[in-house]
Amino acid sequence: MIQELKYAEHPKHLAKISELFLRELNANHIALPEAIIAVPMHPKRLRAKGFNHSLELARIIASRLDIPLLNNHIKKDRNTPRQATMSLKKRQINLRGSFTVSQKINYRHLAIIDDVLTTGSTAEEISKILKKNGVNYIQVWGVAKTK
């Protein structure tokens, strides 16, 4: 389901994946954040793909949890190469400086939603700029993790 979500032309498994994620969140008694941010895509990649799978997951999850979704607060300014085959070090270098805060964030506790967590480099880079902009506590929520 994750592969199809990530690489298919349409996000047909969004509802099921979101449901499974919410079930795990509830079962593990995770403290809820004040707001949610999805990992953004560069506009060029978004146009080519047609949708941001992390954002679509975040929309459902935020709605079901009744938590604000900050979908225009973080932007990806640099169209970086895909990271699927990169090492940790290359991923970190690839992402450095590629995200910016585009709107003031008035929350201190956020969750970043990503579809698949591999090395955590994307979440780490976003977390750095969130912390510089006053966010104190950041959770990273992924619906899947690679081995």
50 to each of 2, 47, 142, how far by Cα in Å?
A: 17, 5, 21
In which domain, by residue range, is 108 found?
A: 2-145
For the chain, the straight-line distance linking the first and the last C-alpha, in angstroms and rounded, comes to 17
3-state secondary structure of 134: coil
Q: What was the pLDDT predicted at 10?
A: 61
Q: What was the pLDDT predicted at 95?
A: 73
Q: What was the pLDDT predicted at 144?
A: 79
Q: What was the pLDDT predicted at 2?
A: 72
Q: Which residues of the chain have pLDDT under 70?
A: 5-11, 81-89, 91-94, 147
Look at the chain and report how many structural domains it folds into.
1
Q: What was the pLDDT predicted at 81?
A: 62
**E strand intervals along 1-136:** 35-38, 74-76, 99-101, 109-117
CATH number of the domain encompassing residue 7: 3.40.50
